[in-house]
Amino acid sequence: MSLMFSINYFIFSIFFTLFVLEVGIALTMLLEYEKYKDSLKRFLMPLWEVTGTFAIFYIVNLEAVVPSLLLLIGTIFVVPLLVAAIFFILRNAFLSYSEYMGDKVSEKRYLHIYAIATIIVAFIAISVLDSGISGIAISASSYSINLLRMFANSFNILMFLGIALLAAFLAAVFFRIKEYKWFPILSAVLGVIAIAIAVHGSLNYLFDSAFDIGLPYLLGLLALLAVSLFMHYKGNKYAKYIAVLWFFLAINFFGFMQGPYILGGTVNTNNYVATGAMAFYINAVTLIGGAILAASLIYMVYISYIKKTPKTNSNY
């Protein structure tokens, strides 16, 4: 995989980790709203804008990295992604509406609408990604797509199910949800199995390379998952960071095993990646902008989650 596409996948991995964690929050909001509302909101509120902005970052970076593929992407995914955008607006709108709601009933209703909208966005976005990876339902030569097949195929359904289970696992570990004792381990194992079956069934080349050149990485990932589960059951407060790191690395693993191919291994993205002066400037902007972004995010995390509120404000 080229450097530019690797950076693009790295950006995607950050976005997808944040977003899947948000899907886990959405699921928890629907199932255990009263008990975990405060901790979910405390985490979600400063971060939701960043997750949304990462989505745009990924899209624009993709436009910069593979401009020649835009005609294909823009033509075949127009309907599902615009529908997803509608639900993305609902996600943003109802989350922001809920923030200052004085009455608890409206707040709960708005957060539930937010949660449902988030899960729908996830389903559509994952279906589009699955279709792009596997090529199922896409005819690249005629620039067409069978939408029904894009959503309703075993690969997509198993992938979505697997990711939803992993989202639930992440939320359970991240927010220390204790109601269902065996849920984190069950959802993690079943999630991984669902994704493995999906990949084995539809992307054999990817499955084979995961057990060939990717084997050390794969074993490392499984060990890390075991560590995060062990720490979670031991009540270690750092378990959540290990779980998130595991998910982030797992997405990267998936990407690097799959790359540089898309559409079921039929299209090599290296043939479409921007080159020359444009590639240089895109990488330079990513480096400089990424450094500023990282510094800003560290500052945000420090102020929002670590810094204590002072007792008095000296200016009043």
Nearer to another protein, 61 or 228 (CB): 61
Please select the residue that binds another protein; options are 30, 81, 113, 116, rule is CB under 8 A. Answer: 81
Restricting to residues 186-225, name those near another protein by CB under 8 A: none
Per-residue contact flags (x/-) with another protein for residues 33 to 72, judged by CB under 8 A: ------------xxx-xx-xx-xxx-xxx-xx-xxx-xx-
Question: Quick one: 121 or 199, whose CB is closer to another protein?
Answer: 121
DSSP line for 49-81: HHHHHHHHHHHHHHHHH-GGGHHHHHHHSHHHH
CB of 149 to another protein, least distance (A): 16
Smaller CB distance to another protein: residue 46 or 204?
Answer: 46
Question: For residues 37 and 15, what is the distance between their CA atoms, to the nearest angstrom?
Answer: 23
Alpha-carbon gap, residue 187 to 167, rounded angstroms: 9
Binding mask 291-310 for another protein (x = CB under 8 A): -xx--xx-xx--xx--xxxx
Eight-class DSSP state of 142: T
Q: Which is nearer to another protein, 42 or 178 (CB)?
A: 42
Nearer to another protein by C-beta: 93 or 224? 93
Q: Is 89 in the site for another protein (CB under 8 A)?
A: yes
Q: Which of 38, 234, 237, 313 binds another protein (CB under 8 A)?
A: 313
For the CA atoms of 30, 32, 33, 38, the dihedral, rounded to the nearest 10 degrees, stands at -130
Pair 27, 170: CB distance under 8 Å: no
Residue 312 engages another protein in binding (rule: CB under 8 A): yes
For another protein, give the closer residue by CB, 64 or 221: 64
- Distance CA(226)–CA(73), nearest Å, equals 38
Q: Identify whether 260 is preceded by a cis peptide bond (ω within 30 of 0).
A: yes
Q: Which of residues 95-124 bind another protein (CB under 8 A)?
A: 95-97, 99-103
CB 243, CB 174: distance < 8 Å: yes
End-to-end C-alpha distance for the chain, whole angstroms: 57
Contact 150, 80 (CB under 8 A): yes
CA distance linking residue 6 with residue 279, whole number of Å: 13
Residue of 3, 219, 285, 287 that binds another protein (CB under 8 A): 285
Q: Could you tell me the smallest distance in angstroms from the CB atom of residue 36 to another protein?
A: 19
How far, in Å, CA of 222 to CA of 192, rounded? Answer: 10
The nearer residue to another protein, 144 or 204, going by C-beta atoms, is: 144
Residue range at the interface with another protein (CB under 8 A); choices 123-131, 209-217, 254-262, 288-296:
288-296
| Reduced DSSP (H G I as helix, E B as strand, rest coil) percent helix, strand, coil of the chain, to 5 | 80, 5, 20
Burial of 92 (0-12, 13-18, 19+ CB in 10 A): middle
Contacting another protein (CB under 8 A), which of 180, 205, 238, 281? 281
| Interface residue list for another protein (CB under 8 A) | 45-47, 49-50, 52-53, 55-57, 59-61, 63-64, 66-68, 70-71, 73-75, 77-79, 81-83, 85-86, 88-89, 91-93, 95-97, 99-103, 274, 276-278, 281-282, 285, 289, 292-293, 296-297, 299-300, 303-304, 307-310, 312-316
